[in-house]
């Protein structure tokens, strides 16, 4: 990507920040209601307060390991008398969060390969098709030629949903309709992309849970068939996770990784969830790059993941 390309202007940046902050309200409340005085900044830091903080972090789905790491680091700083009051504690908490999150903050970029093929996977309702639509819009705006592959052949509405996103955003869609073989739809899409000199292929897949073994088999087959085309596709396997499932997201990562090898993550539905802290758990446990966060259903609600902004919004520091 060219430098500065795709960057938001200051006004957009402000509304992106407002949306992020708004979307984290429930999680923020959960942390704050556990540690009310932390937010007010009027309490001495003692063992009781740290216990409350620990409980609040667990309640926001930060997870056992990441919570332990954060609490240990803060205890260490308390024992060195670095934290005089609860205001300092809040800053320290933000710092620890950023420390865990910074290594996974790696925004999406179109790689060198042409076409650059992204295989989007995840359980049903996680937000795969929506993410593809929003990403297509963004990439087209950046001047990329984008083709969408309607690999979710399980539901008729899925093809329609993807076609709508394509039509609205100037991306071509390759589909065969309900019941078609998903791997062959995606194979055709990549061939078409090659013939048309397309830059990026975004491949949608089904996420049905009814027959999970079947789904994982289908994904394996898609990957295998893509491999036959040469060119190294898929160049990125992007797993979409719904933040609302909390700690269960970690087992989804393991399951999809086992089937197709997960390369990157998007975490959606931070809005409306009190479990947005799960990003911290996922970052600490997997180290996988987080390409996007979803903060609402609107077309501009797919954001790059910025740890400082996230921690500040979560702790109401700005
Ligand atoms: N509030 C909110 N809703 C979202 C977000 N991302 C997606 N959604 C909504 O979640 C619902 C499901 O999204 P889809 O994109 O259809 O999910 P999917 O993973 O493609 O689901 P299947 O096709 O059933 O596998 C839609 O109503 C989306 O508008 C988000 O970040 N926030
Ligand atoms: Mg879908």
Residues 135-171 have pLDDT tens digits of 999 999 999 999 999 999 988 899 999 999 999 999 9
- The response to whether residue 242 sits with its C-beta less than 6 Å from ligand 1 reads no
Nearest C-alpha neighbor of 292 from the set 118, 75, 97: 118
Instruction: Please give the distance, rounded to the nearest whole angstrom, from the Cα atom of residue 306 to the centre of ligand 1.
Output: 22
- The response to whether residue 297 sits with its C-beta less than 6 Å from ligand 1 reads yes
- The response to whether residue 294 sits with its C-beta less than 6 Å from ligand 1 reads yes
Q: Distance (Å, rounded) from C-alpha 140 to C-alpha 166? A: 10
The string of pLDDT tens digits covering residues 52-80 is 899 999 999 999 999 999 999 999 999 99
The string of pLDDT tens digits covering residues 276-314 is 999 999 999 999 999 999 999 988 899 999 999 999 998
Q: Distance (Å, rounded) from C-alpha 151 to C-alpha 182? A: 5
Nearest C-alpha neighbor of 119 from the set 29, 25, 201, 35: 201
What pLDDT was estimated at residue 49? Answer: 85
- With cut-offs at 50, 70 and 90, classify the pLDDT of residue 2: very low
Using DSSP bridges, classify how beta strands 172-174 and 302-304 pair: parallel, antiparallel or unpaired. Answer: unpaired
- The response to whether residue 24 sits with its C-beta less than 6 Å from ligand 1 reads no
- The response to whether residue 133 sits with its C-beta less than 6 Å from ligand 1 reads no
- The response to whether residue 207 sits with its C-beta less than 6 Å from ligand 1 reads yes
The string of pLDDT tens digits covering residues 181-214 is 999 999 999 999 999 999 999 999 999 755 556 8
The string of pLDDT tens digits covering residues 233-243 is 999 999 999 99
- The response to whether residue 125 sits with its C-beta less than 6 Å from ligand 1 reads yes
The string of pLDDT tens digits covering residues 234-273 is 999 999 999 999 999 999 999 999 999 999 999 999 998 9
Q: Is pLDDT at 87 greater than 90 in this prediction?
A: no
> Ligand 2 (ion): which residues have CB within 5 A?
128-129
Helix (H) or strand (E) holding 30: helix 25-34
Q: What count of Cα atoms within 13 Å lies in the side-chain half-sphere of residue 201? A: 34
- Compute the Cα dihedral for 65, 71, 76, 82 and give only its sign: positive
Q: How many helices (H) and strands (E) does the chain have?
A: 13, 8
User: Residue 127 CA: which ligand is closest?
Assistant: 1
What pLDDT was estimated at residue 32? Answer: 73
CB burial of residue 99 (10 Å; 0-12, 13-18, 19+): middle
The string of pLDDT tens digits covering residues 92-145 is 999 999 999 999 999 999 999 999 999 999 999 999 999 999 999 999 999 999
3-state secondary structure 245-301: HCCHHHHHHHHHHHHHCCCEEEEECCCCCCCCCHHHHHHHHHCCCEEEEECCCCCCC
Q: Distance (Å, rounded) from C-alpha 117 to C-alpha 190? A: 8
List strand residue ranges (DSSP E) for the chain, in order.
Answer: 116-121, 146-150, 172-174, 200-204, 236-242, 264-268, 290-294, 302-304
Instruction: Please give the distance, rounded to the nearest whole angstrom, from the Cα atom of residue 240 to the centre of ligand 1.
Output: 10
- Compute the Cα dihedral for 306, 307, 313, 318 and give only its sign: negative
- Ligand 1 pocket mutation pick from 19, 27, 123, 125 by most atoms within 8 angstroms of CB: 125
Q: 């984290």: which residue's tokens?
A: 24
């Amino acid at each position: 990507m060219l430098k500065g390309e795709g960057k938001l202007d200051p006004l957009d940046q402000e509304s992106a920040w407002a949306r992020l902050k708004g979307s984290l309200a429930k999680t923020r409340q959960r942390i704050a209601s556990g540690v009310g005085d932390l937010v007010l900044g009027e309490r001495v830091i003692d063992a009781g307060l740290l216990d409350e903080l620990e409980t609040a972090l667990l309640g926001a789905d930060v997870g056992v390991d990441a919570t332990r790491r954060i609490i240990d680091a803060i205890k260490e700083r308390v024992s060195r008398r670095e934290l005089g009051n609860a205001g300092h504690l809040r800053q320290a908490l933000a710092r620890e969060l950023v420390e865990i999150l910074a290594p996974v903050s790696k925004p999406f970029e179109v790689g060198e390969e042409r076409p650059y093929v992204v295989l989007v996977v995840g359980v049903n309702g996680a937000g795969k098709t929506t993410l593809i639509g929003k990403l297509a819009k963004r990439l087209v705006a950046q001047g990329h030629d984008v083709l969408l592959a309607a690999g979710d052949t399980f539901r008729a509405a899925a093809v329609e949903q993807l076609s709508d996103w394509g039509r609205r955003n100037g991306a071509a869609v390759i589909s065969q309709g309900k019941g078609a073989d998903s791997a062959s739809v995606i194979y055709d899409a990549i061939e078409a992309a090659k013939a048309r000199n397309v830059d990026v292929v975004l491949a949608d897949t089904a996420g049905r849970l009814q027959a999970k073994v079947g789904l994982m088999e289908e994904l394996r087959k898609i990957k295998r068939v893509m491999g036959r085309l040469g060119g190294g596709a898929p160049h990125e396997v992007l797993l979409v996770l719904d933040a609302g499932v909390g700690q269960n997201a970690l087992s989804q990562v393991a399951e999809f990784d086992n089937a197709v090898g997960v390369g990157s993550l998007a975490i959606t539905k931070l809005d409306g969830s009190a479990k947005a802290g799960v990003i911290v758990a996922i970052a600490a446990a997997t180290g996988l790059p987080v390409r996007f966060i979803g903060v609402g259903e609107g077309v501009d609600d797919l954001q790059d993941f910025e740890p400082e902004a996230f921690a500040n919004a979560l702790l109401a520091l700005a």
